Structure formats: C-alpha cells, structure tokens
Chains A and B, each alone.
Chain A
Amino acid sequence: MDKFGFTLSKARVIDYEANDRTIVDYIIEREPSLKLCIECGCCTATCTTGNFTDFSLREIHILLKRGENEQVRQKIKKCMLCGKCILVCPRGVNTRNVVSLARQAFRNTEGYEF
C-alpha cells in the first residue's frame, strides 16, 4: 500500500487508545444531556466569545468526546457563561453546565493544571 501513497496522514489520526476520556465521563455522569449533542454548531453561531476569537463550543464538544483534553483545557477558559447557547440549542443540551463541569473536572483531576 505504501508504494501507492495511500498511507494515513499522521496529522489526521485520532488515536482513541491513547486518548483520555476521564474528563468527558466526569461531565456525562453529572450532565447526561451532553450525549444529546448533534454537533450542529448553533451554539458556536450565537456565541459571545466566538465573536472575538475562534472559540467554538461545537469544537469543544467534539474534542471532549474524542478525549483531546489538552486542547479543551486551553480553550474552555474563554467561555463567559452568558447562556445564549442554551437558548438556541435544538437538542436541549445544558451547555453552560458542560463548560462549568469541564472546568471543575480539570481542577479536580490530577495531571491537569487549571
């Protein structure tokens, strides 16, 4: 296969084995509505923080579920908890609590500085 150039690009590999789901499990245990998210991006479209940066709650949800916690940790501080995303969410995900719980999870989990 290698000869034909059909290898997987390293940058696009999601290594589920190596990734760490402790944070997302912590959140889902306390806020099961996170499982309802269909990643439609309405939250990102209305986001107050998203107005100024590339902050995207949709992206954060995806990263969380993949277990790419380091990226989430850096991004999640930017949220202002203003709550517009809850009102536009078509699935009724309690997005504010997801953010708040993620912060809490990073604080309470060893190995992460928050």
Chain B
Amino acid sequence: MNFDPFVIPFNIGLYFILIYAVVRSVIWFRELSRPDKLRLQRGFFGRAFGQSLKEIFLESLIHRKILKSNPRLGYMHMSLAFGWFLLILFGTIEADIFGERHLNPPDRAIFFRFFNPDHGKTFFESSYAFMMDLILAFILSGLVLAVIKRFSSKVVGMKKTTKLKPLDKVALTSLWLIFPSRLIAESLTSGAYGTGSFLTGSLGEWFASFLPANELAYPFWWLYSLSLGTFFVLLPLTRYLHIPTELFLIFMRNSGIRTGDRPGTYSEVEVHSCSSCGMCIDVCQLGFSAGINTIQATYLMKGIRNREELHDIAHNCLMCGRCDQICPVGIEISPIRMIVRRTEDIENVYESRWKGYLRSRINVVTPRQETGTSYDFLPVRKQEKTDVLYFAGCMTHLTPSIKKAMVRILDASGLKWSFMDEDGGVCCGRPLMLEGNDREARELINHNSDLIWKSGARTLVTSCPICYKVFRESYYLDLEVLHHSQFIKNLIDEGLVDLNYLQKRVTYHTPCELGRRSGVYDEPLEVIKHVASLEATGYDNENSLCCGGSLGNIMLSREKRQKIAEDVTARLTACSPDSLITACPLCKKTLAQATSTRVMDIAELAVEAIAAVPEVKKTRRGVSKKKVIGETTATI
C-alpha cells in the first residue's frame, strides 16, 4: 500500500502549519528593530544557539520548572509534550528502518501501523513496537490527567484552571482525540493481524475477539488523521500557537532581546507563547485574597491575543511581580502590562488579514497630544553641597517615625549629609509611570535630577523602595543610589554605627518594589539578623507577598486592599513575632492597619538598637567597634 485518502486531512494540516510558520517568522523577523536583528544574528552563530537548544529540551519538552513547583502538573505537561516528541522521533526512525524505503514523507511515520500491518513479528521489531507502546501509554496517562484537570483542577494541585474561548475548546477536543484515536486505530489493526505489543497488541486481541477489527480500524484511522489536521489548522488561532512560538521566544531571549517599553515582535512572541497553563492564577493575591479572578496574566495574554477590552485587566493589578516569578515560560508579564497601560490612550490601528491568521499588533503609535507642561509650577529650589543626599519620599513623609529614625541614623553615622525633601519634596515620578504617563513623569524626574546634580552628592539614600527603583532605572544619575536598608548595612560594615542586639523575635516582609522589582533581598535580612532574631515565614525572598497598598493598582477599592493586607499580616505573624519588620513606608502603613502586631520599618529597628541599653551587648556576635553610640545618643 502506498497511498490511502485518509492521510489527506493530516497532510493538509501539516503543510499548512509549516508554510504558516515560515510566513509568520519572516513577518516577525522583518518587524524587529535593527539592534534586535543584529542580536538575533549574533545569537544564531554564537553560544545562544546551544543554550536555546538545551533550554528548549528542558523547558518546552521536560517542563522542568513546572515539575519542580508542582510535580503532578509537570508530569501532565511533560507526558504530552515530551511523549509526543518521542513518538514523532521514534516513529520516524521506525518508518525509516522498517519501512519499504528510507526517507519517507511524514504521513508514513505517523500512520506506520496502517501501511505496515505485518510489522512486529520478529523479535527486534516487536521490541521496537514495545517501546512505541510505552511512549503511547506515557502520553495517554498525561491525557487522562489533563481531562481530569479540566473538570477538577484540584487533582493536579491547582486551585483554578484557565477559562477557555470556544475555538480553544474545539482545538482542545481535537488534541484530546488524537491519542485515543491512534490507540484504538492501532489496536484494531494489530488485532486483525496479530501484531502489536503490550498495549495495542493486547487491546487489539480483545477487540478482535468480538469485533470485526479490520473493518472497524479504517474509520478510526480517518478520525486520527482528521483530529491531527483540525488541530494543526486551528493552531494559529488558539492558545496552542504557544507550541511553536515558545521555541522562538527561548531563542530570542537567549540572544539578549528583552520586552522593552514599546509593543514589538518580542512582546508579541511572548503573548503568543503563553500556554494558558494558569500557574499565574494560583499565585495572584488579587485572586486568593480579594476574589478578583478576571485580571490574571493568562487573561491579559488572552485579551491581547483576542483583542478584547483591556483597560480593567491592565490597570487592576498590584504589579507585585509574583506572576513574573512563577511563569514557566518566562514571559515578562509586568513589562507587557505596562505596554498596554502606556498604549491604551494611543490610537490603536490593527490590521487583520485572513480572518485573524495573520494579524499585526498596534501599528500606529502616536504619542498622546497634550497641551503644555503640567508641572511648570514647580519652583527652582536650592540644594546645598553634600556627600550623602537623603530623599525620604512622599510615603515616608506620611510615616514620620521612619523619617525621624533615618535622621538619627544619618546623624549617628557622622557623614556629611543633607535632607533633599525636608520641605515635602516632589514625587519621584514612579506613580505616574505606573499609570503609563511617562511624559509627565519625565518632568518630575528632570526636576529632581536637577536638585541631585546640584548637591554634588556621591550617595543618594532613599527610604522608599518605589523611589529607589525609579532613581536607579529612570534617572540619569552619576552616583550610588541606596535604599536605606543597604545604607544601614554599609554603615554597620564600615563600623560607622554600632548596633546592639535586641532580644526580639521578628519576621520580615519583603516589599515588592525592593525585592522582586529591584532584586534587593540580602541587605535588609543582614541588618535584621544583626540586631534581632529573624523567623522564617514561608514567604521569603522571591516568594514574598504584596501588602496590598501598591500604587501599581489604581482601581482597587479600600475594602479589597484591607482584605489583602489582613491576609498577608495573618500569614506573616503566624509565629506571633514581637514585631513585623518591613522596609517600605507604604507597606508599613498598609500592614499596620491590618494587624495588632507592631509593624516597624528596618530604620526604626536600627534606631532602637542604637538606643538600647548596652547590657545586651554580651549576646552580640563579633567584637564591639569604636564607641560611637555613647557620643551620638548624647548629641541627638
């Protein structure tokens, strides 16, 4: 047998998807910016290529990240992806070795058993068939899990699974049909010819005992081919586009391309790489604390793909970055959300050809036309020359105890310092940026930069992680920017302040803007460990929670913020510590409203340690440095 009409649907699907992949890649490549094109070319001939292959194997096939965090879910994804890959690979080899000739067209390998029903008689052939059956069984076990997950996601250890659009459901059904129809088709053919291994062979034998196996096999081969064809044709319109797109994403990422702040090829590839696995749903605090289940990253990606109304999804987010951390595909979710926030007031022009098969993203990007500047009322302010410049930040002015503590620490350090915003100051610009108003933010940035340059300082210390992030990333400054926790740590290391050990049990809440957003984890912990006994909470470092007060979310009502804060404080004070330490004035204010435990900033803790009675000194680790405390406490 050389040909049978049932292979036609499969072939149409296969060649369609291959041509589509080429056309789409060419379009994507052409739309890349020039530097990104160069990066990609360099990556192709450099180390990035090898790294990408390794990553594709580990992440796209084995799904290592999901396996680590959730073994059952990981097994489900692995069995489908890796199993299918093995089936195609060994199927091709099988057709090549045992087929009539070498180098067969793909349909020969896929429908091998149909064209070679006698195969499997000799020992070598049957052991190969055993392996093929094993792979099929591996896939089917994952498929069973996937079907169960659709109906009860708790089985695979997920609280919620993603809601799908109708076309996704059609594609999902055809995907689910592929492997069972292959199993039945192969079994019936094997049953009729007495071949096949432990799975197809024994099932076929049983079928053949009471059914006309040979006649029944043919419709199932048609079903197998049809479900493959349907799946391939629908693939570009559904979430399953992530299967080919993720390969591009991994290669582009390894070549050094990043999302940036404008819509472009990379963000589009990222959006299409989202497999809607739903891991971001379970980590989202808006979901599990505030009951908002429509705005998670997977829905953002789906909304962008289907061009839904995005305003609420984009803005109703704490920007805490927990989903960025968990995403197994490594999609930079927050930058994409920021792009949507920035572009939504822009006139969006979409083009659609071929009923959505080839759609391009927002094409016309015209900056919003606003008349005049908004902040021309800001006065020209004076700034004295100094070494260390302290910027408290708006939120710190609302929590004066942090400000006072920092003033004491700075005085105690003996450094020459100056208070940049003692009069209340001007906002750092990040709250505006978080709303997508970059142009307006730039005016504030220029104003503050001017003052910082005038001061001639070498170090800028800020008490607010929100300001810290924007000073580091969006200001053009030629000085060292430190969060006060880093500054205090430096003071301790250099022996400029001497802190006593307090008999206190504390837990630490990592502020999102300081931790996940700026990568400052160790310094605050070291300061705390230096002066108190730190208890682990299970929400440390990358896994930290958002306090709920985030300025990233403009839409969240106070009641929901309160709910999140109460949930967070309950988790962080479960071991009933003496105080809950944080390093952000906004976190402090939000958390303090939700708990009876004392919430302190790290600066307040340090000041308490400076002022503490020296009796506890003996419990302190290390040698005592020069007596700074005695003098400073007297002068303050």
Answer whether residue A40 sits at the interface, using C-beta atoms and an 8 A cutoff.
no
**B residues 383-435 with Cβ under 8 Å of A?**
394-395, 397-398, 423-427, 429, 431-432, 435
Contact A81–B431 (Cβ < 8 Å): yes
Q: Which of B371, B374, B395, B423 contacts A84 (CB 8 A)?
A: B395
Question: Which B residue's beta carbon lies closest to that of A86?
Answer: B558
Complex Cα–Cα for A113 and B554 (A): 24
User: 0/1 per residue, B152-177, Cβ < 8 Å to A?
Assistant: 00000000000000000000000000
The minimal Cβ–Cβ distance linking B540 to chain A, given in whole angstroms, is 27
Contacts of A87 in B (CB 8 A): 395, 398, 549, 586, 589
Contact A33–B557 (Cβ < 8 Å): yes
**B residues 521-568 with Cβ under 8 Å of A?**
549, 551, 554-559
Contact B398–A80 (Cβ < 8 Å): no
Complex Cα–Cα for A114 and B558 (A): 29
User: 0/1 per residue, B344-368, Cβ < 8 Å to A?
Assistant: 0100000000000000000000001
Complex Cα–Cα for A104 and B551 (A): 18
Complex Cα–Cα for A100 and B576 (A): 40
Complex Cα–Cα for A86 and B590 (A): 11
Complex Cα–Cα for A107 and B346 (A): 11
Known: A51-B424, A52-B378, A88-B398. A82 touches B558 (CB 8 A): no
User: 0/1 per residue, A35-69, Cβ < 8 Å to B?
Assistant: 00000000000101101110000000000000000
Q: Which of A84, A96, A97 contacts B394 (CB 8 A)?
A: A84
The minimal Cβ–Cβ distance linking B463 to chain A, given in whole angstroms, is 14
Contacts of B425 in A (CB 8 A): 48, 51
Contacts of B377 in A (CB 8 A): 49, 52-53, 78
Q: Give the interface centre of B395, B424, B429, B559 by most chain A CB atoms within 10 Å.
A: B424
Complex Cα–Cα for A103 and B525 (A): 42
Contact B374–A77 (Cβ < 8 Å): yes
Contact B431–A83 (Cβ < 8 Å): yes
Contact B557–A92 (Cβ < 8 Å): yes
Question: Which A residue's beta carbon lies closest to that of B371?
Answer: A113
Contacts between the two chains (Cβ within 8 Å), count: 76
Known: A53-B377, A82-B427. A100 touches B551 (CB 8 A): no
Size band of the interface chain B makes with A: 20 to 34
The minimal Cβ–Cβ distance linking A77 to chain B, given in whole angstroms, is 4
Answer whether residue B375 sits at the interface, using C-beta atoms and an 8 A cutoff.
yes
Contacts of B397 in A (CB 8 A): 84
Complex Cα–Cα for A107 and B375 (A): 18
Answer whether residue B379 sits at the interface, using C-beta atoms and an 8 A cutoff.
yes
Contacts of B586 in A (CB 8 A): 83, 87
The minimal Cβ–Cβ distance linking B565 to chain A, given in whole angstroms, is 12
Contact A46–B444 (Cβ < 8 Å): no
The minimal Cβ–Cβ distance linking A37 to chain B, given in whole angstroms, is 13
Contact A94–B375 (Cβ < 8 Å): no
Contacts of A97 in B (CB 8 A): 554-555
Complex Cα–Cα for A107 and B435 (A): 15
Complex Cα–Cα for A84 and B400 (A): 13
Complex Cα–Cα for A87 and B424 (A): 16
Q: Which of A31, A51, A78, A107 contacts B345 (CB 8 A)?
A: A107
Contacts of B427 in A (CB 8 A): 48, 80-82
**B residues 549-602 with Cβ under 8 Å of A?**
549, 551, 554-559, 586, 589
Contact A33–B558 (Cβ < 8 Å): yes
Contacts of B423 in A (CB 8 A): 51
Contact A48–B371 (Cβ < 8 Å): no
Contacts of B424 in A (CB 8 A): 48, 51
Question: Which B residue's beta carbon lies closest to that of A107?
Answer: B345
The minimal Cβ–Cβ distance linking B134 to chain A, given in whole angstroms, is 57
Contact A48–B426 (Cβ < 8 Å): yes
Complex Cα–Cα for A92 and B561 (A): 10
Complex Cα–Cα for A86 and B552 (A): 13
**Contacts A/B (CB < 8 Å), 14 sampled:** A48-B425, A49-B377, A53-B377, A78-B374, A78-B377, A80-B375, A80-B427, A81-B432, A83-B395, A83-B431, A87-B398, A92-B559, A94-B554, A100-B554
Q: Which residues of A contact B (CB under 8 A)?
A: 31, 33, 46, 48-49, 51-53, 77-78, 80-84, 86-88, 92, 94, 96-97, 100, 104, 107, 113-114
Q: Which 6 A-B pairs have the closest CB atoms?
A: A92-B558, A80-B427, A77-B374, A82-B427, A51-B424, A82-B394
